[in-house]
Chains A and B, each alone.
Chain A
Amino acid sequence: MAEDPNATTAQDASSNFLSQCSPARPPILRSSLPDNHPFAPTINAAFQALLKYRQITCLLVDQQHCLLHICGDALGLLGEYGKDITSKNILDLLPASLKLPTSIVLNRAQTDGEAKCSGCAIVPPPNGQPYTVTIAASRDITSDTREVLTVLIERDDYKHLEASVDLQTTELIEVNNRLRAKVLEQQQTEQKLAHQAQALARSNADLEEFAYVVSHDLQEPLRAMTAFSQLLEQRYGQQLEASAQRYITHIVDGGTRMKAMIDGILELSRINNKQITHSPTSLEQALEIALENLELMRIENQATITHDALPTLYIHKNHIVQLLQNLIGNAIKFRGPDSPHVHITAEQQASGWLFSVHDNGIGIPQPQQKRIFKLFQRLHNQQEQEGYGIGLAICKKIVEHYQGNLWLESAPGEGSTFYFTLIVNTCQSES
Chain B
Amino acid sequence: MDVTILLVEDSPTDAAILSAALDDVGCPWPIHIVQTGDEALALLGKIDSSAHPQLILLDLNLPGKTGHEVLREIKGNIVWQAIPTIVLSSSATPNDIYKSYQLHANAYITKPTNFNEYQLIARKICDFWLMTAQLPTSM
Contacts and interface: CB of A to CB of B under 8 A. Distances in A.
Contact of A256 (B91, B93, B113): B113
B29 interface: no
Contacts of A211: 93
Contacts of A216: 60-61, 89-91
Contact of B93 (A227, A230, A270): A270
B118 to A, nearest CB: 6
A231 B114 contact: no
Contacts of B96: 215
A22 to B, nearest CB: 87
Contacts of B113: 219, 222-223, 226-227, 255-256, 259
* Of listed B61, B91, B113, B114, residue having the most chain A CB within 10 A: B113
A232 B123 CA distance: 20
A178 B84 CA distance: 71
Contacts of A229: 115
Given A223-B113, A256-B113, A266 B93 contact: yes
A223 B12 CA distance: 12
Nearest to B96: A215
A145 interface: no
Given A211-B93, A215-B96, A266-B93, A227 B115 contact: yes
A263 interface: yes
6 contacts: A219-B113, A220-B90, A228-B115, A230-B116, A266-B93, A270-B94
Given A216-B61, A220-B13, A220-B14, A226 B115 contact: yes
A255 B92 CA distance: 17
A224 B13 contact: yes
Interface size class of A (residues with CB under 8 A): 20 to 34
A259 B118 CA distance: 15
A217 interface: yes
B11 A263 contact: no
Given A223-B17, A224-B17, A270-B94, A231 B89 contact: no
B137 interface: no
In the A-B complex, the 10 residue pairs with the smallest Cβ-Cβ separation, listed nearest first, are: A230-B115, A215-B91, A224-B13, A216-B61, A227-B115, A219-B90, A259-B113, A227-B17, A226-B113, A223-B113
A231 B93 contact: no
Interface string B83-124: 000000111111110000000000000011111101000000
Contacts of A227: 13, 17, 113-115, 118
Given A223-B112, A231-B20, A255-B114, 19 more contacts: A211-B93, A215-B96, A216-B60, A216-B61, A216-B90, A219-B113, A220-B11, A220-B14, A221-B13, A222-B113, A223-B13, A224-B17, A227-B13, A227-B17, A227-B118, A230-B116, A231-B17, A234-B115, A275-B95
B13 A226 contact: no
A116 B14 CA distance: 112
Interface of B: 11, 13-14, 17, 20, 24, 60-61, 89-96, 111-116, 118
B17 A215 contact: no
Contacts of A230: 114-116
Interface in A227-253: 227-231, 234, 252
Interface of A: 211-212, 215-217, 219-224, 226-231, 234, 252, 255-256, 259, 263, 266, 270, 275
Contact of A215 (B11, B24, B93, B112): B93
Contacts of A220: 11, 13-14, 90
Contacts of B24: 234
A216 B60 CA distance: 8
Contacts of A255: 113-114
B113 to A, nearest CB: 4
A230 B21 CA distance: 11
B94 A223 contact: no
Contact of A263 (B14, B92, B115): B92
B17 A219 contact: no
A256 B92 CA distance: 16
A405 to B, nearest CB: 27
Contacts of B61: 216-217
Contacts of A231: 17, 20, 115
Contacts of B17: 223-224, 227-228, 231
A262 to B, nearest CB: 9
A228 B95 CA distance: 29
A151 B69 CA distance: 97
Contacts of B95: 275
Nearest to A275: B95
Contacts of A222: 113
Given A252-B114, A256-B114, A228 B92 contact: no
